[in-house]
Amino acid sequence: MNKKDKILIVGAGLCGSLLALRLAQRGFKVTVYESRPDLRTTDISAGRSINLSLSDRGLKALRLCGMEEKAKEICIPMFGRLMHDAEGNTFSSNYSGRDNECINSISRGELNAILLDAAEAHENVQLHFNKQCEQVDIENNIAHFKEYNTKEKFSVTADVIFGGDGAGSSLRKSYVAERKFLFSYSQAYLNHGYKELEIPADTSGNHQISNAHLHIWPRGDFMLIALPNMDGSFTVTLFLSYDEGDFNFENLTSEEKITEFFEKEFPDALALIPNIKEEFINNPTGPLGTIKCAPWSYQNKTLLIGDSSHAIVPFYGQGMNASFEDVYVLDEILEQDLGSWEAVFKAYQNTRKKDTDAIADLAIDNFHEMKNHVANPIFKEKRIVEMNLEKTFPTEYFSKYSMVTFNEHIGYNEAMVRGRAQDKALLNLITSNAISTAPDMGKEALKGVLEKVQQETEEILREANTGVL
């Protein structure tokens, strides 16, 4: 392992471009091949999420590469959720009781562009677009490509190949096809898909609804969400079953049916989406899947990173953040100077995999929470208790959501284990009337609530560790 090693990265998306930038900063010679056109000169957003949630873990990785402030220039902070019921009433729920904690809505394309620009500014980085990776010979470290326009086929040999090519990774498929080692792979899809729509800006170019919130229309078996864009619009995403329920993607095929659905379930959103019929019919319906696999590497030659090794559903807003954190963790391993790429890859997986498995599970949990529970009275009471505790004891209490989203020093797995126990403790105490909070409750009284929650949480963790549960 040395700086003269020729590194090839398959994929110039968010993870691939950040990885290229960081390896270049470390002095490695990096070549990146991307199947799509250069998004800086061509619109390739069709069918993909237009905006994403950027939070502390992603910002940590961007900070490492000197890109945090530039990314923040294209962010819109969202300080909480704004729930919309079927009658058009709304209520807000902050993400945290601590001041100024927020998640950021950011354009996928704009963020990707600034990372590509930063990587390309290094003379030891070469970017190639319209080059589809068809297969990787993992034994000989040869990646086989096809040029999109000319259909010409060619091969590239490298010392190390990183697969940053997303959920449909060619490198991961090559792991399966070549059968050089025992490779475990699972792919699970929800029975829900997603479709993107748009709330345009008003005539003055301003947002028509609050741009300081993530908007959610929870309806039990399905939901609508909306994230703000810099141009005054909102990207609206409908999450709906393919074939179950009175309304589903299979039967929403006529303008009449689409209108009936939105008039019944989302009348306030419908009033803001003037092109609903055209957008619904013409925009693609995307799948929602989780991918887990192991091992992520083969000898000292190849490594899967980002979505290629751990694709997740979007309901915790952590897909991009987890992939960016991959780069951060890999960089920490490189800093240890382990001597070989194989040692680096093994240490990286040993450090990282439990956390990526955890955020995949948490994202599924949050899917059910967002569409079912956020409007539930007990959930609302739980959030009130948590907000009060975080506000009064900002360094002593973190909700599960805060541990995942705002505490970059806690791994996803620890956040999941402790967060689930804490949630159970809160629900137990609330339903048994053992705790409550009032607007005028003083610090000493809240201290008693905190101690009860902490005690119950630790008891649940002890029982789990001893196999009682």
* pLDDT single digits (tens) 34-84: 999 999 998 765 445 678 999 999 999 999 999 999 999 999 999 999 999
d(CA 148, CA 465): 54
List phi, psi (to 5°) of 326: -55, -50
The answer to whether the CB of 259 falls within 8 A of the CB of 277 is: yes
Q: What is the pLDDT of residue 49?
A: 60
pLDDT at 466: 78
Mean pLDDT of 303-326: 97
Residue 57: CB atoms within 10 A of its CB come to 26
CA distance linking residue 282 with residue 286, whole number of Å: 13
CB hemisphere CA count around 398 (13 angstroms)? 18
Q: Given pLDDT bands bounded at 50, 70 and 90, which one contains residue 467?
A: low
Q: Which residue has the tokens 């040993």?
A: 350
Question: How far is it, in rounded angstroms, from Cα 107 to Cα 52?
Answer: 6
Residue 364 has pLDDT above 80, yes or no: yes
Q: How confident is the model at residue 373 (pLDDT cuts 50, 70, 90)?
A: low
Average pLDDT over residues 80-104: 92
Cα gap 373→93, rounded to integer Å:
13
pLDDT for residue 440 is more than 80: no
Mean pLDDT of the chain: 93
Q: What average pLDDT does range 407-433 have in this prediction?
A: 95
Overall residue count recorded for the chain in this entry: 469
Residue 36: exposed, middle, or buried by beta-carbon count in 10 A (0-12, 13-18, 19+)? Answer: middle
Q: How many Cβ atoms from other residues are within 10 Å of residue 218's Cβ?
A: 21
> Rounded to whole angstroms, what are the CA distances from 3 to 6, 143, 350, 409?
8, 21, 24, 30
Q: What is the pLDDT of residues 209-250, one digit of tens each?
A: 999 999 999 998 999 999 999 999 999 999 999 999 999 999
Mean pLDDT of 369-377: 66
Q: CA-to-CA distance for 71 and 468, rounded, in angstroms?
A: 47
- Structure-token pair, residue 86: 């079927």
pLDDT value at residue 18: 98
User: Does residue 4 register a pLDDT over 50?
Assistant: yes
The amino acid at 221? D
Q: Lowest-confidence range among 12-26, 342-356, 359-373, 453-467?
A: 359-373
Residue 16 to residue 116: CA distance in whole angstroms: 9
Q: How far is CA 395 from CA 46, 93, 209, 402, in A?
A: 43, 20, 33, 12
pLDDT above 70: residue 404: yes
CA distances from 2 to 25, 173, 222 (A): 14, 28, 51
The proportion of the chain whose per-residue pLDDT surpasses 90, expressed as a percent, equals 87
Rounded to 5 degrees, φ, ψ at 96 are -155, 155
pLDDT tier at 379 (50, 70, 90 boundaries)?
Answer: confident
Provide the pLDDT confidence category of residue 469 given band limits of 50, 70 and 90.
Answer: very low
Name residue 469's amino acid.
L
CA distance 390 to 398: 6
Query: How far from the centroid of its chain's Cα atoms is residue 295's Cα?
Result: 22
Mean pLDDT of 8-33: 98
- What separation in angstroms does the CA of 311 have from each of 121, 175, 292, 361? 29, 16, 7, 11
CA-based angle 83:194:107, to the nearest 5?
A: 75
Output b/e per residue, 231-240; b: 16+ Cβ within 10 A: ebbbbbbbbb
